[in-house]
Amino acid sequence: MLPAAPVLAPVLGRAEAGFDASVGRLCDLLRIPSVSTKPDHAPEVRRAADWLVAELAALGFDASVRPTAGHPMVVAHHPGPGGPGGGDVPHILYYGHYDVQPPEPLELWDSPPFEPTIVEGPHGPRVVARGAVDDKGQVMTFLEAFRAWHAVHGTLPIRVTVLLEGEEETGSPSLMPFLRANVDELKADVCVITDTNSWTIDTPAITTRLRGLLYVEVTLHGPSHDLHSGLYGGAVLNPINALTRVLGQIHDEQGRVRFPGFYDGVREPSAEELAMWRELGFSEADFLAGVGLKTPAGEAGRSALERLWARPTCDVNGIWGGYTGAGAKTVIAAKASAKLSCRLVPGQDPDAVLAGLRAFLDERTPPDARWEIQSFGQSPGLQVPTDSPYLRAAMAGLGDVYTNRPVLIGSGGSIPVAGYIKDALGFDSIFVGFGLEDDRIHSPNEKFELKCLKNGILAHVAMLARFAELRR
């Protein structure tokens, strides 16, 4: 049964009727190449921020662009139905990001990455563009929900603060300083983050587990300079050979990581969680087939969802050294490097994991060699409370729109912002997103199903109504 049906029903109807215009506005935002990693795109990043401020201001928000040491934040406040005082309705912080990944390699796109194109797919039309789902399309789900409420009732049913950052794709270096500098302004009851996936296109989900991340670059230094492999080969240390031997020892025969203390603090999923995951009907064969594989890998004795959602990992993400250009150049390189990512789960200490990684490498240092380790950031794993009234309200809102019952899931990815918000502002987050596993995030031909866009808008409309039922 829909909450306060006479109030909500016309808002849902308005969102449905205005959906084509919603798609048009999303396409307008997607045309702005707000690539945060490229310094020459800084004006475009700012243009995207200005575009969002204008849209929010038109919906009754007090919206502004806020400078940081890097790309700007967008901050907007809506007083809700009670006016400036806010009344006794909940206050929700909505977070998203408006920056995008670089589109390269351009030759692998079927259409220009910043010229959004509507194409047909198995689920109907989809929009293809860089940022279609990560995260511009997801941000527009709640902005368009605000628009429908504003159009029908002239206000929102709760107090809302919006925080949109322009550096998520570069590791959010300005986010924590900004949160700490604006604690009072950004205080709310809970944060809603729309940067995750549904379980299927017809089954909505709230993500309650996220893995953290430790990302490092390791370099093994050997000879003082590159050497002729004929004059020196077989008689001196070859850093590439030595590095690959060490990397090959990271995992034991059972797929477990050998860093000292790596599994300290790792929490086993509860029996209830494991039962819920089994009921999801996940097919490991289909999961592997989607990436052209047949054979499972990883930690022995664990299901695929356990390995993805509840177990830590270490992967080599890149390796290089010596000559890699065209033709031949027979050298023994003076050094060899690799990039490693450790996905961490709740209970692990990223600093302790880094210390264990250092100890692992130190124990295997060849004579006359030395390690250089550079960390590119770290964040702990996260598990959000499932007994929150706000989470229950969000689940109810999803149930108002979808035929299938919403489910609670985990994610193998990392979204550090929830930890930052908890540490700096003191409240929890709800991860409710509308992407799909095959949306090609960070890849050529990134897409967002228009059915998912519409579902997201309608779901946020209904969740706003459900949040309004929670009196403070």
| DSSP, residue by residue, 83-146 | GGG-TTS-EEEEEEE--B-----GGG-SS-TTS-EEEEETTEEEEESTTTTTTHHHHHHHHHHH
The superfamily CATH assigns to domain 5-210+382-468 is: Zn peptidases (3.40.630.10)
Q: Is the pLDDT of residue 98 over 50?
A: yes
| Token pair in block for residue 171 | 């590791």
**Above pLDDT 70, what percent of the chain?**
98
Candidate from 91-95, 267-271, 283-287, 344-348 with smallest mean pLDDT: 267-271
- Which H/E stretch holds residue 444? none
Which pLDDT tens digit goes with each residue over 273-305?
899 899 999 999 999 998 899 999 999 999 999
Note the pLDDT of residue 413.
84
Q: In what order do the strands lie in the sheet with 124-128?
A: 117-121, 124-128, 447-449
Q: Is the pLDDT of residue 2 over 70?
A: no
User: Model confidence at 325, in pLDDT bands (50, 70, 90)?
Assistant: very high
Q: Is the pLDDT of residue 12 over 70?
A: yes
Q: Is the pLDDT of residue 1 over 50?
A: no
Q: Is the pLDDT of residue 123 over 80?
A: yes
CB within 8 Å of 378: residues ≥ 6 apart: 212, 213, 214, 215, 350, 351, 354
Alpha-carbon span 144 to 440, nearest angstrom: 23
Alpha-carbon span 175 to 26, nearest angstrom: 25
Note the pLDDT of residue 85.
62
**Above pLDDT 90, what percent of the chain?**
90
Alpha-carbon span 31 to 111, nearest angstrom: 13
Report the top-level CATH class of 212-266+309-379.
alpha beta
Cis before residue 264, ω within 30 degrees of 0? no
Q: Is the pLDDT of residue 71 over 60?
A: yes
Domain boundaries, the chain: 5-210+382-468, 212-266+309-379
Note the pLDDT of residue 432.
97
| Token pair in block for residue 163 | 């925080």
Q: With 0-12 CB in 10 A as exposed, 13-18 as middle and 19+ as buried, what is 193?
A: buried
Candidate from 78-92, 115-129, 296-310, 393-407 with smallest mean pLDDT: 78-92
Q: Is the pLDDT of residue 5 over 80?
A: no
